[in-house]
Amino acid sequence: MTDPVRIALGQMCSGLDPEENINTIAQFAAEARAAGAGYLQVPEMSVGFAGDRAQLEAIAEPEVNNRQISRLSDVARENGIVLHVGSLAVSKGNGRFANRSLLFGRSGRLLGQYDKVHLFDADVPDQTKVYRESATYDAGDALVIVDLASEGIAATLGLSICFDVRFGEHYLALAQKGAKLMAVPAAFTQPTGEAHWEVLLRARAIETGSFVLAAAQAGDHANGRSTHGHSMIVDPWGRILAEKADREPGLLLADLDLDAVTDARRRLPVLDMRQAHSLSINHKVAG
């Protein structure tokens, strides 16, 4: 048996001031560590939540000598906690940006990074109406898993960001490479969150037999957008272990029994039974 692991999710209402947002992350890190958590996740665009290109250009720093990343590394080191920054915008220097997730170890060392693969191009019945993330961001081209054993957590973490959660194959691939924890930091809109957020998170947990850890943006933001909140931790059987069932900032804590992953995958060994890749399709036309 493995010892339970206490993890924390920080639900935020990020604004346009990176310094203020990083201070909030630092406060969450201190609170999480004081509560005995070894891992803290904060949402997508936690460092600065831009609503248009002008705001994005004002917030995002370049990949090299990035002061925001240096400060976040310091937050992890100063609090002795694994800090998962759900994402921040990084300027690529060509008028394009990356929506990048960063994972820092307890020493402040960068353990891994992931660029969002599935960009949010959608029409939503809210005040923004049309979202075209691909107009300013470049999609990532690789899946990422990080072994957390060196950080005192006996599990491998699979990385994703927000809209990725709608693509089940992303998580099946992570699980087949050994991920037992799935990270889904997000900034779901209010309409899509009300309709789909919980269902998608529970589905990803069930189909992979994994814990799903999903820190969310919440509330009405300075960029004019409204986000759903409801940060959530789901166990490998699809049960909600903990939820911040509102649209207010705050910290969510839960203890994970990592043996539950082994148990769920033994009871329902779907990862070993998948056959879709080997099946042919017989296409017949009626008439």
- pLDDT tens for each residue of 160-211: 999 999 999 999 999 999 999 999 999 999 999 999 999 999 999 999 999 9
**Does 286 fall in a domain?**
no
- CATH number for the domain spanning 64: value is 3.60.110.10
**Does 141 fall in a domain?**
yes
CA 169 – CA 272 distance, rounded (Å): 15
**Does 287 fall in a domain?**
no
**Does 272 fall in a domain?**
no
> How many domains in the chain?
1
Active site residues: 44, 116, 162
pTM confidence score: 0.95
Q: What is the pLDDT of residues 96-139, one digit of tens each?
A: 999 999 999 999 999 999 999 999 999 998 878 899 999 999 99
**Does 29 fall in a domain?**
yes
- Domain of residue 28: give its range: 5-267
Choose among 179, 174, 185: nearest CA to 148: 179
**Does 152 fall in a domain?**
yes
Across the range 214-227, mean pLDDT stands at 97
3-state secondary structure of 167: coil
**Does 278 fall in a domain?**
no
Adjacent-strand bridge partners of 214: 232
